Structure 1
Amino acid sequence: MVSRFGIDDVRPQVSGRTLPSKAVVGEVVPVSALVWREGHDAIAATLVLVAPSGAQYQVSMQQEFYRPDYCHAVFVPDEQGLWRYRVDAWSDVMATWRNAVEKKLAAGQTERELANDIAHGIKLFDAAIANHPADALIAARASLLDDTLPLDRRIAPGCSQKVRDVLAEHPLRELVTRGPVADILVERRAALVNSWYELFPRSTGGVDNNGNPVHGTWETTTAQLERVAAMGFDTVYFPPIHPIGEVNRKGRNNTLTPEDGDVGSPWAIGSKHGGHDAFDPNLGGEDEFLDMMDHANELGLEIALDFALQAAPDHPWAKEHPEFFTVLADGTIAYAENPPKKYQDIYPLNFDNAPEALYDEIYRVLMYWVNLGVTTFRVDNPHTKPVNFWHWLIAKVHETDPDVIFLAEAFTRPPRMYGLSKAGFSQSYTHFTWKTTKAELTDFAQLLVDVADVSRPNLFVNTPDILHATLQEGGPAAFALRATLAATMSPLWGVYSGYELYENRPVTAGSEEYHDSEKYQLRHRDWAAALEEGTSLEPYLTLLNQIRRDNPALQQLRQIRFHDIENDQIIAYSKVDAITGNTVLVVVNLDPTSTQEGMLRIDADAVGLTPGTFDVHDQITGESYTWTTAETGNFVRLAPEKNVAHVFRLPEVAAGRRQALAYRQISDHDYRP
């Protein structure tokens, strides 16, 4: 149906408003729309919001100066749950009147010629006063009625800034046209702002008298949490903690011939000791797990568990529910394959044989852990399971436990990744690991902003499966610069244990698999010795997490700007927080082996600066400099052996310019998930 006014290109919206877009409590959410009408009369727009509690809010939308049909507003949700919003367009009769009389006065028209305009203005102010009897409106009406005043003085109060300010808060609206309703699912803040650290509980046991690794327990894991918390991480993620299959168990470095004592892959879930709702008996039981959880909470850490929907051949499901799997013609159950790779120790689930029974069993298992207090899950390979299953499961869990966060480990094609996010996943792994050049990183970061209404990227610098060539070959500086990029490009980032020790040996040349991978064996690491020897990145990771905590600009996803430096080995980008005005400029040397330098030119408008000089403070080195917005630029030199990056704090953006920076980003990009 065609409405009185056009209300097009409303953002945010997902899949034609059939699914909610994403936000978190306390996040600045920009809303925009293209609003238009016939003729030359003024048109305006209002953002109308309904909170989960039922509270209603209205926010005046601002028109772009050069494109007045585009309207923008921002709001900050203060409630978790499903928000509803729409954009209403309306005839701004006061602005139309004001525009007409100002032009006629400027053209020298007389009081007689303006008589009808004055009479019309009196009627408009009568209506505005009935709506909100402000002193400025009453005074403007009285002035229009006073025919003893000179014409310009008679009209001036009605066009004053005081009157405009009152009408901005209490507009006189005619021909109101309601736009379509869209939903925004607002989650808790940890769904957007979080630092993850991955560790294997079984590798926390230390070594015996012969120097051999000892299998960890929940008690030894608890002791390791102190170090992780001290580094400033928020979430500790454990790979699967369930009993590990003995049938077809893999040996070290993924061999098919395990030796006595080989612990197998934790992703080969299930044995005679139980399945997805059981603990690996070597770690300990439920009581010890809960003690560990209590200590994590005391340290301000959240525990995330791996949720891997697959089974070892000796998982109880294989015997009790063969219909959960694909049974081959010879009567055997199909194991997982990704040719040429074979995973003989894993049976993938078949979601089509008995979906109702399988769905119910998976929900039962997941809720066992939720009821133990686990509120974050890293989901293994969700893109190999039906998306409608995830939509059902996540929605069902959120009916009773809306705080639960789901991270999708889906290194796959973008439509699948974003489809999982639309289905309900709170966060997603990304292809960040493979983005290494300045051009790749720039395009990648811009895309993160473009899809912020749909997907929240968690930038892991490494994983047990991914040791990128840059880390294998770049030395300690490569580890530092990749951590800097991940920690500052997204409010979500992650590190897999061992990164701080610069672990960089692949299993074979050209492989991204670790040699002596922790996926198949225990790995003892002497953290204290590395710190004492000065061969640990731990202090730098701690500093990065502190910088993230200190700067709200690094806790938002929806705004990033790149700045020009004529050196392809140096990347520079800024972020601004629309609430506080906090502004951060990150400059990174992408070459881990050589010193790089250049003249950095600041996009002053992107960071809310007026032309001239300004002070910058490097939060990595503690040094301060005076810089300029001039075209000559500012000299930057980064030597890998000294420091790979600057994270500058710039002057705060003035309050009047913050919202414009928040919605400017969405008006510059046209990606539509």
Structure 2
Amino acid sequence: MWFELAFFRRVVDNWAIELSTSCRLQNVSPEVSTMRVPELKPFRMGSMAAVQHRATTRTSNSDSTKTAKSKTTSSSKTTTKRKRARTATATPPAALHGLASEAPAPTIEVSEPGQFGRINVMDITPAEERGIFPARVELGEPFEMTAQVFIEGRTKVGATAIVRNPRGKETLRRPMTCVNPGLDRWVVTVKCGDHSDLKPWEDGYAAVKRQLGEWTVTVEGWEDTYISWLHDARIKVRVKDDVNNALDSGAELLARWAATPDANLTARDRKTLEKAAETMADASLSAEDRLAAGDNPRIATLHDTHPLRDGISPSQPQRFKVERPKSSFAAWYQFFPRSEGATINPATGKIVQGTLKTSMVGLERAAAEGFDIVYLPPIFPIGVTNRKGRNNSLIAGPDDPGSPFGIGSELGGHDTVDPLLGTMDDFKALCQRAHELGLEIALDFALQCSPDHPWVKAHPAWFKHKPDDTIAFAENPPKKYQDIYPIDFNADMAGIEKEVERIMNLWIEAGVTIFRIDNPHTKPVRFWQDVIAAVTKKHPEILFLAEAFTRPGMMRALSYVGFTQSHCYFPWRNTKEELEEYLPTTNGDDGYYQHNTFWPTTPDILTAYVRDNGIAGHCVRAVLAALGSPSWGIYNGYELIENKQRPGFEEQIDNEKYEVKVRDWSKAKQFGVAEMLTSLNKIRRAHPAARSYHNLTVLQSSDPGVLAFARHTPAELTGTGHADTLIVVVNLDGHNAHQAMIHLDLDELGLPTDRPLNVRDELTGREFQWGWDNYVSLAPWADVAHILSVQ
């Protein structure tokens, strides 16, 4: 046929609401919902063939060339296809000849970038930076797209999002919703592929790998001829103005709709439209009954699911880089191997440090608490020159192990396992055991050296020198790092890149699947771009986490060049006001590039909030981290309430970076934090709503100490066939009870408005009924939070 059409959703609204040129969707009006739908029966003169003929012959009058092409295409279709979407060619009775009707909007070919189609589609978000850096999402992660879609005059339009995989195959088609008629802004939530938890070494991962790469989403604008007609027809029938022309036009429209391949109608749906067209064209019926044939819930449902789309105008395809499982949705657990299994020698009173072999117990603990990734600080030999002592003191005692970030000694550098921890075979065995437990191993890669590192002698040009030709140690005035030499990338960046690539490939072969990069923002962005490109070309499954706390521009650039996740400023966002601003930022447009990982504490970070709010504060921050971001992490010892600060610093006293910790893990049960962590990871795995950076809504709360937010994923994108909604309410005060009224905008969240919501607290199992406004009372000695799932 001369018109090209595809699939879209619309709802019929009260005709009196919209008289402007906006793109507001129209719902079925109250009077229509109660209108009698007449029995659909053939009318006496002409029946469906005449209506179909009028719908098709007018296209030949307006464009004979396209009609001829359509006939040729139609004649080549198979019998099966013809049954699904056929074009009527019956000869009309004389009584129906000569009735004129407006031609539908044609699809106008776009032959070069920048040309508009028949419908205008602009300002699509997320937008690629200079058309070079596509937005990043995890396989199966729901995300939001928006666009401006409009047409001239008061004609109604619709919009559809079409998702295609790297091979160009359409995998998803979803209608968009106009959320701001004044700005012609349309929104849709889509996903690229289906969520998976498969790890790179597991059976079946090859099928996941084939889905990774560059996907596209195209926004198709189109004229909503049915809604435009319905708006005017309701008015004309109501005021009895030019009724016959309006209804005849509607009959032709329904007949054309029934014959449109793009609508993808079933035989039953097509029959419904054909009968409706026959009834509407029957002049023996009253105007009200004729209108009701095309203005009723059955037709409205077809418009929702299989609309007639005229003048389809596709945008330029928007690219998305689809990454493997755990690139967005991940739970990290950090421990120091030298502290796992460490003991005190009863004879000497000295600490006997742990090893890679004794670290197996740390893997067991991480798996039992439900984490996905175990992150290890550097496991390389530690330098002796200027070695740091306890609490970062400048003088190390004879038994001080030094900081694992002072990398390199006469025993080796970044490609060597510290002999005090074990051998490369021990590390491979650790990775193998982690994989058996379903854990990935992330290794810290700090690109810095102690004065004893082999590179200092082999490649002196790789380091900055003072005028007196001595190498400068690292500093960030007033901070100084006397045990570290920083790399100078200006003399031989290509040589440094080649060496780093070699070392990373060595650890990948040993079992590492993720690198946590220390301070990547202090190295050239181009350096990381080259290294990550080279490593992932050979090992596309490798992920990179940036330990970067810096300016937004640098953070965005690091994400562009391949850092999949990033540390962020979450530890310092503790008040309700701060969190209400920060959560939508992390879970908004920034989340297409910078995947923030929420860590309540790290070896370098212990905030006053965690210090001052005890067990309740630890649980509050864990809830916020686990549900506030798809990616979160815990530094071990959190379960034991290790919250004493080093005086004058936002870090722990007796910092594990400078000494070996001997912990009594049997005490964890008395605090209950480990149980909370386990519950949070279980909730996250069970609920698709927890997996996306693009579905968080902050909720109104009447108390300044109570924060509330919701995560919602529609049924079409959960993979379960059911919508998933989580409502999180947190008492931010670790010492006092707080009460608040929590307001839910049920419409905005896509929740039922005609009945109470049955919600279940995933932390306690208790059930409640919620609605628009809901009373909550939380006491830190009882419940620090509700995590409510809508049943």
TM-score, with length taken from structure 2: 0.76
Q: Is 1:620–2:777 an aligned residue pair?
A: no
SS in 1 for 2:159: strand
CA 34–120 in structure 1, closer or farther in 2 if over 3 Å, else same: same
Deviates more, 1:293-302 or 1:547-556: 547-556
Which of 482, 507, 511 does residue 369 from structure 1 map onto? 507
Q: Secondary structure at the match of 1:358?
A: helix
Q: Aligned partners of 1:293 and 1:316: how far apart in 2?
A: 26
Query: In structure 2, what residue type is equivalent to 1:331?
Result: D
Per the alignment, in what secondary structure is the counterpart of residue 121 of structure 2?
Answer: strand
Secondary structure of the residue aligned to 1:189 is coil
Distance in 2 separating the partners of 1:357 and 1:125: 65
- Residue deviations 1:366-402 (CA, integer Å, cap 9, x gap): 1222222211111111111122222333233332322
Aligned positions of 1:459-608 closer than 5 A: 459-508=598-647, 510-528=648-666, 530-531=667-668, 534-535=670-671, 537-578=673-714, 579=718, 580-607=722-749, 608=751
Question: 1:209-358 residue pairs with structure 2 within 5 A?
Answer: 209=346, 210-358=348-496
Structure 1: distance between partners of 2:143 and 2:494? 38
Cα distance per residue 1:566-618 (max 9 Å; x no partner): 32122222222323323222222212222333444444445524266444433
Work out the percentage of aligned pairs sharing the same amino acid: 37
The one-letter code sitting in structure 1 at the alignment partner of 2:188 is: A
Gaps of 5+ in 2: 1-113, 194-210
Does the aligned pair in 1 maintain the 2:760–2:788 contact within 8 Å?
A: yes
Contact 1:17 1:182 in 2 (8 A): no
Shift of 1:432: 0.9
Partner of 1:666: none
Q: Give yes or no for contact 1:121–1:144 (8 Å, CA) kept in 2.
A: no
Residue 23 of structure 1 contacts residue 187 of structure 1 at CA under 8 Å; is this kept in 2? yes
The Cα of 1:484 is off from its aligned counterpart by: 1.8
Structure 2: how far apart are the matches of 1:321 and 1:504? 42
> Cα gap change, 1:49/1:537 in structure 2, threshold over 3 Å: closer, same or farther?
closer
Judge which range, 562-571 or 456-465, deviates more. Answer: 562-571
1:663 alignment partner in structure 2: none
Asked whether the 8 Å contact 1:244–1:265 carries over to 2, the reply is: yes
Give 1:139's aligned residue.
275
The structure-2 alpha-carbon separation of the partners of 1:301 and 1:31, relative to structure 1 and needing over 3 Å to count, comes to same
Query: Partner of 1:665 in structure 2?
Result: none
Amino acid at match of 1:72: V
Q: 1:115 to 1:348 in 2, by over 3 A?
A: same
CA–CA distance in 2 between the matches of 1:347 and 1:219?
31
Q: Tell me by how many angstroms 1:101 deviates.
A: 3.5
Whether 2:238 is the aligned partner of 1:106: answer yes
1:45 aligns with 2:159: yes
1:634 counterpart residue number? 775
Q: Which residue of 1 aligns with 2:36?
A: none
Q: Closer, same or farther in 2 for the Cα pair 1:322/1:485, shift >3 Å? A: same
Distance verdict in 2 for CA 1:121–1:469, change over 3 Å: closer
Q: Is the 8 A contact 1:269 1:312 kept in 2?
A: yes
Matched letter for residue 76 of structure 1: K
CA spacing shift, 1:166–1:11, aligned 2, 3 Å:
same
Deviations along 1:149-208, one digit per CA (max 9) or x if unpaired, are 555555654555555655666555444333223211111231222211110001123212
Aligned partner letter, 1:176: I
Aligned to 1:658: none
Q: Which amino acid aligns with 2:392?
A: N
| C-alpha distance 143-648 of structure 1, shift in aligned 2 (>3 A) | closer
Structure 2: which amino acid aligns with 1:380?
D
1:113, CA displacement in angstroms? 4.2
Give, in whole Å, the separation in 2 of the partners of 1:57 and 1:104.
41
CA contact (8 A) 1:13 1:453 kept: no
Q: What SS does the corresponding residue of 1:177 show, helix, strand or coil?
A: strand
- Per-residue deviation, residues 200-256 of structure 1 (Å, max 9, x unmatched): 001123212244321221110112211221111111100011111122211222122
Does structure 2 conserve the Cα–Cα contact (< 8 Å) formed by 1:308 and 1:381? yes
Q: Deviations over 1:503-557 (max 9, x none)?
A: 122222x3112222111111111102x146x146222222222232233333333
Is the alpha carbon distance of 1:389 and 1:166 closer, same or farther for their aligned partners in structure 2, counting shifts above 3 Å?
farther
| Partner SS state of residue 218, structure 1 | coil
Residues in 2 aligned to 1:193 and 1:376: alpha-carbon distance in whole angstroms = 14
Cα distance between partner residues in 1 of 2:258 and 2:637? 72
CA contact (8 A) 2:159 2:219 kept: yes
* Residue type of the alignment partner of 1:187: E
SS of the equivalent of 2:587 reads helix
Q: Could you tell me which amino acid in structure 1 is paired with residue 591 of structure 2?
A: A
What is the alpha-carbon distance in structure 2 between the residues aligned to residue 612 and residue 163 of structure 1? 26
Aligned to 2:214: 82
Count residues in correspondence: 645
Q: Equivalent of 1:3, from 116, 128, 132? A: 116
8 Å Cα contact 1:94-1:124 kept in structure 2: no
CA contact under 8 A between 2:493 and 2:527: conserved in structure 1? no
Amino acid at match of 2:165: A
How do 1:116-131 and structure 2 match up within 5 A? 117=249, 121=253, 124-125=256-257, 128=260
Does residue 358 of structure 2 align to residue 198 of structure 1? no
| TM-score, normalised relative to structure 1 | 0.89
- The AA in structure 2 aligned to 1:505 is K
Matched-pair contact (CA < 8 Å) for 1:490–1:557: yes
Letter in 1 for 2:322: V
Q: Do 2:341 and 2:361's aligned partners in 1 also have CA atoms closer than 8 Å?
A: no
Give the Å deviation of 1:64: 2.0
Aligned to 2:25: none
Q: Distance in 2 between matches of 1:617 and 1:116?
A: 53
Task: Determine the structure 2 residue equivalent to 1:70.
Answer: 185
Structure 1: which amino acid aligns with 2:164?
V
Q: Secondary structure at the match of 1:190?
A: coil
Mapped pair 1:32 → 2:146: yes
Asked whether the equivalents of residues 21 and 183 of structure 1 are also in contact (C-alpha less than 8 Å), the reply is: yes
Distance 1:168 1:625 in 2: 33
Contact 2:328–2:631 (CA under 8 A) maintained in structure 1: yes
Report the Cα distance in structure 1 between the residues aligned to 2:177 and 2:322, rounded to whole angstroms. 26
SS of equivalent to 2:444: strand
Distance across 2 between alignment mates of 1:287 and 1:338: 38
Distance 2:258 2:635 in 1: 67
> For the residues of structure 2 that align with 1:96 and 1:626, how far apart are their CA atoms?
41
**Aligned positions of 1:382-397 closer than 5 A:** 382-397=520-535
Match for 2:787 among 643, 647, 653? 647
- Pair 1:454-2:593 in alignment: yes
**How far, CA to CA, are the matches of 1:233 and 1:87 in structure 2?**
38
Q: Which moved more, 1:572-581 or 1:90-99?
A: 90-99
Local SS of the residue matching 1:27: coil
The answer to whether structure 1 residue 412 and structure 2 residue 412 are counterparts is no
* CA contact 1:268–1:310 (8 Å) conserved in 2: yes
Show the counterpart of 2:41.
none
Q: CA deviation at 1:120?
A: 5.7
Is the Cα contact below 8 Å between 2:148 and 2:186 reproduced in 1?
Answer: yes
Computing the radius of gyration from Cα coordinates, the structure with the larger value is 2
TM-fit CA distance, 1:438: 0.8
536-545 or 486-495, which moves further after superposition? 536-545
Question: Could you report, residue by residue, the CA deviation over 1:416-452 in whole angstroms, capped at 9, with x for unpaired residues?
Answer: 2233223321111111111111101111111112222
